[in-house]
């Protein structure tokens, strides 16, 4: 009977659909952790997660299986592997984990609890597996609940009653603010109920609007943290296990990494999401409008930290309403970030549109239409530069603006990605101040301040008309964001928000703006999920919607 095990943890960053590339990463980790008896990888590591409807293509599932069969051959002379893949069996497709050992696929287990809420659609593509029994690995009975299987007691209870001695849990659990504590609470609950130690292995990396933060860990049967891998980067660990005279397994104390929290975690998520979106889609770099305002300054800082200054190009596009202060602040910000910066006036475009539309607009008042022409002239300029040179346009609108429609379609909403899409304006201010004091883990930018203090302290303005301020059109951001968080994150009624102390007229106005702006949000570029309810898969409201009652 085996009384000692070395279990390797491979916290890697797969690419959805890149089966050969993912296998290469799996094999590289296998070589790196060659001292292990068994290596565990994240959920669906072979296909990448979430592969969404891609897994329903028969050829895709077949290729994943063939890749794992080839990978299994490696285990003749090395560690065994627990790898996740879509598994087709009897015309049913499962979210599965395969044990590769002694040159073959020696066991397969299926995910039981398929999440079908918020960003998850697993019931759309997978069949739920039966309650699993443990896998016998070298006389050790190992339970392998998959991700959501540990969020309720049933699967772990079944494994414990079936004789499991320890739990290895592959995960692809996306980040949102506060999620780490939620995960830990679920793990501690399962360990408390079963008295079984648990290894939690999470994916890391960005995939479209999801970001995975890694931070894999080991909890022993006494609920003590025995190992903690890094957040926000690939990481690897060898954990050493011993079975005592009572048959219980314990893990030797390992390294406990410090994982960024709070504002630092938000910045890391936005940075990693942007980096992987650009790199995994093969863009040479990004281009964005640098206006002298805080949103574009933070977006530029994130881009430099994610990609390096040499892959970021910024353009100031002044109009007759652009202040000297904004010109100075944009230039100073670019210099502090060390990025390529140029100025292209949109004045000639404004004049051309005025002349072109003169007869059509005859007898009308100058207003929002003319303001939007400015924004669309900037969008057109950035898209022209993107088409000519290949860099992806990075849009810079924050969540507060997206919520109430304070943005211009085909103007400042132009872009392939938006790193701050799910970040409220008040948090934009906090992050900007934070970044001027700290450097993110893995950041490629300056270790010092990255934007002038005046950008953070001055009142926000779109500068589309003389002396314009955001608060001319919107409530103060402290108030607006409090209302939005209640309406969006908590799905609270107007009456509840008013009862919380907000002005009723203001709440009703914000609710109406939120309700009417769905069509804009549907056309916005993707951006990393940060909050509990991002504008995307988390919150799916119909555009055509006749229900306007404020409740």
Which of the residues are catalytic?
43, 111, 147
Sheet-wide strand order for 92-101: 104-110, 92-101, 80-89, 38-40, 4-11, 235-243, 249-251
Q: Judge contact between 116 and 45, C-beta under 8 A.
A: no
Query: Residue 94, CB half-sphere, CA atoms under 13 Å: how many?
Result: 21
**Are residues 225 and 257 in contact, defined by beta-carbon separation less than 8 angstroms?**
no
Q: How many whole angstroms separate alpha carbon 200 and alpha carbon 62?
A: 28
Of 464, 482, 521, nearest in space to 293 by CA: 464
Q: Is 365 helix (H, G, I), strand (E, B) or coil?
A: coil
The helix/strand/coil state of 484 is: helix
Measured in degrees and rounded to the nearest 5, phi and psi for residue 4 equal -135, 140
Quickly count helices (H) and strands (E) in the chain. 17, 19
Of 105, 161, 103, give the one whose Cα is nearest residue 132: 161
Q: Tell me which residue of 103, 99, 173 sits closest to 136, measured CA to CA.
A: 99
Cis peptide before 413 (omega within 30 of 0): no
Query: How many Å is the Cα radius of gyration of the chain?
Result: 26
HEC secondary structure over 119-139? CCCHHHHCCCCCCCCCEEECC
């Amino acid at each position: 009977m085996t009384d000692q095990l070395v279990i390797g943890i491979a916290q890697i960053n797969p690419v959805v659909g890149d089966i050969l590339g993912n296998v290469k990463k799996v094999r590289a980790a296998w070589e790196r952790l060659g001292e292990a008896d068994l290596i565990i990888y994240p959920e669906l590591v072979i296909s990448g997660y979430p592969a969404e409807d891609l897994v329903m293509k028969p050829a895709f599932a077949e290729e994943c299986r063939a890749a794992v069969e080839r990978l299994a051959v490696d285990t003749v002379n090395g560690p065994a592997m627990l790898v996740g893949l879509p598994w087709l069996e009897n015309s049913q497709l499962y979210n599965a984990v395969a044990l590769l050992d002694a040159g073959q696929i020696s066991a397969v287990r299926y995910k039981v609890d398929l999440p079908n809420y918020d960003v998850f659609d697993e019931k759309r593509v997978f069949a739920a597996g039966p309650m699993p029994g443990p896998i016998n690995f070298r006389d050790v009975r190992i339970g392998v609940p998959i991700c959501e299987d540990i969020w309720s007691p049933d699967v772990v209870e079944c494994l414990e009653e079936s004789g499991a001695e320890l739990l290895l849990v592959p995960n692809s659990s996306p980040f949102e603010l506060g999620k780490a504590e939620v995960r830990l609470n679920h793990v501690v609950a399962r360990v408390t109920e079963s008295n079984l130690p648990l290894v939690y292995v999470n994916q890391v990396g960005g995939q479209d609007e999801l970001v995975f933060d890694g931070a894999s860990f080991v909890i022993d049967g006494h609920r003590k943290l025995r190992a903690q891998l890094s957040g926000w980067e690939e990481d690897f660990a060898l954990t050493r296990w011993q079975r005592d005279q009572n048959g219980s397994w314990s893990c030797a104390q390992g390294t406990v990494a410090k994982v960024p929290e709070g504002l630092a975690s938000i910045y890391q998520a936005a940075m990693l999401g942007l980096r992987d979106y650009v790199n995994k889609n093969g863009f040479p770099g990004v281009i964005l409008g640098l206006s002298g305002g805080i949103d574009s300054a933070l977006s530029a800082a994130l881009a430099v930290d994610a990609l390096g200054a040499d892959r970021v190009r910024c353009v100031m596009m002044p109009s007759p309403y652009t202040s000297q202060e904004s010109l100075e602040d944009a230039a100073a910000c670019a210099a502090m970030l060390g990025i390529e910066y140029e100025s292209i006036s949109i004045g000639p475009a404004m004049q051309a549109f005025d002349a072109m539309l003169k007869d059509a607009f005859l007898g009308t008042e100058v207003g929002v239409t003319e303001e939007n022409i400015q924004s669309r002239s900037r969008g057109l300029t950035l898209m022209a530069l993107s088409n000519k040179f290949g860099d992806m346009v990075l849009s810079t609108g924050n969540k507060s603006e997206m919520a109430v429609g304070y943005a211009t379609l085909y103007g400042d909403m132009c872009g392939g990605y938006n790193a701050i899409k799910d970040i409220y304006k008040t948090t934009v201010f906090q992050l900007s101040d934070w970044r001027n004091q700290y450097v993110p883990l893995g950041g490629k930018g300056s270790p010092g301040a990255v934007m002038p203090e005046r950008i953070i302290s001055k009142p926000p303005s779109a500068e589309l008309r003389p002396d314009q301020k955001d608060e001319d059109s919107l409530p103060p951001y402290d108030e607006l964001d409090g209302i939005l968080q209640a309406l969006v994150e908590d799905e609270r009624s107007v009456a509840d928000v008013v009862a919380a102390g907000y002005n009723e007229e203001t709440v009703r106005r914000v609710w109406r703006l939120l309700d009417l702006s769905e069509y804009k949000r549907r056309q916005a570029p993707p951006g990393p999920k940060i909050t509990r309810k991002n504008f995307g898969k988390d919150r799916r409201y119909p555009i055509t919607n006749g229900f306007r009652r404020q409740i």
